[in-house]
């Protein structure tokens, strides 16, 4: 069925055989869709028109097709050799944000976390302010239990909506998932399409002020002016990755155009035309240096995907 969809891409004037309304791109550069601004091409790259269009697409594709879902492309390193299979973009496409009732917000997977935080505050709901510090979408935040400023995504979750490989929708409770620090396990071959966030009523103006303070702190302490993925490593128990990296003198360490930020050591920034290989090499160098000095193996928070580019 993917061949039929690809044929439609090459014949935009022809009639639709599949009912797909979104856009399917072939050999799409992933550097255009990741916050690090690096990565090879995706074999196929799908932009659904909306949730119903995504369901139609999923139900059409081959059962063994490799799928990668992305939002804003943060927390993601795509190798220079690119991605075989299909990448599905949610950011700006699965974008509905609404109140289900007085204390539950429904946010689709492609809505930016910061937008969710501000929406909650405007509706006099408090507790979601920390989401403003997560540089990604709700889908990604759900998938990794993203956190910032002492809060974690799944602390807010009442239930989630998922989509399986057959295009069937499910509403699942929080207790159907195994939740840990930056780790989430749930039903196999299901992907998050929306979150139901339960909050408490409170002072919206105070909540909005708290969001402003969080964003100001993020700007003051993180290298937001250069392309990065957010935090590269998970914090080990009882310690901070940034402290460990700084302690071994790696702030400012470079590999080509990739550099350990001199503003926050748990960030690797693209200072120009860095490659994914340079970033990955720097990740490995940081891990080795910290392990040698402290006997602590830093675990990547960033998700590394795709194939290495052959020389």
Q: Which residue is catalytic, options 231, 261, 278, 280?
A: 231
User: Does the active-site annotation cover 285?
Assistant: no
How far apart are alpha carbons 249 and 235 in whole angstroms?
Answer: 18
Confirm whether 301 is a catalytic residue: yes
- Whole-number Å distance between alpha carbons of 143 and 301: 12
Helix (H, G, I), strand (E, B) or coil at 205: helix
Catalytic: 231? yes
Cα–Cα distance for residue pair 89/73, rounded to 1 Å: 9
Pick from 259, 309, 279: which is nearest to 75 by CA?
A: 279
Catalytic residue selected from 182, 246, 247, 291: 182
CB burial of residue 10 (10 Å; 0-12, 13-18, 19+): exposed
Question: At a CB cut-off of 8 Å and minimum separation 6, what does 213 contact?
Answer: none
What's the gap between Cα 284 and its chain centre?
21
Q: Which helix (H) or strand (E) holds 106?
A: strand 104-108
Q: Which residues are catalytic?
A: 182, 231, 301
């Amino acid at each position: 069925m993917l061949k039929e969809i690809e044929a439609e891409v090459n014949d935009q004037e022809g009639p639709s055989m599949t009912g797909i309304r979104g856009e399917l791109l072939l050999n799409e550069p992933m550097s255009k869709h990741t916050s690090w601004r690096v990565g090879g091409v995706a074999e196929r790259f799908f932009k659904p028109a909306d949730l119903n269009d995504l369901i139609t697409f999923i139900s059409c594709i081959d059962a063994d097709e490799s799928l990668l879902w992305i939002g804003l492309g943060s927390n993601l390193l795509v190798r220079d050799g690119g991605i075989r299979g299909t990448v599905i973009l949610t950011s700006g496409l699965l974008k509905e944000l609404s109140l289900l009732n007085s204390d539950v917000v429904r946010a689709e997977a492609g809505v930016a976390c910061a937008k969710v935080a501000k929406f909650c505050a405007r509706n006099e709901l408090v507790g979601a302010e920390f989401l403003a510090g997560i540089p990604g979408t709700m889908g990604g935040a759900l998938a990794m239990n993203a956190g910032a400023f002492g809060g974690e995504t799944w602390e807010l979750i009442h239930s989630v909506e998922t989509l399986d490989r057959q295009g069937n929708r499910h509403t699942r409770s929080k207790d159907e998932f195994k939740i840990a620090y930056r780790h989430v396990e749930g039903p196999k071959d299901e992907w998050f399409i929306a979150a139901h966030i339960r909050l408490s009523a409170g002072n919206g103006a105070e909540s909005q002020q708290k969001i402003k303070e969080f964003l100001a702190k993020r700007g003051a302490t993180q290298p937001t002016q250069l392309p990065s993925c957010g935090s590269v490593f998970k914090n080990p128990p009882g310690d901070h990755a940034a402290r460990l990296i700084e302690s071994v003198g790696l702030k400012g360490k470079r590999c080509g155009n990739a550099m350990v930020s001199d503003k926050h050591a748990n960030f690797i920034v693209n200072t120009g035309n860095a490659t994914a290989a340079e970033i990955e090499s720097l990740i490995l160098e940081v891990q080795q240096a910290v392990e040698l000095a402290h006997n602590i193996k830093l675990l990547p928070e960033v998700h590394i995907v795709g194939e290495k580019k052959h020389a």
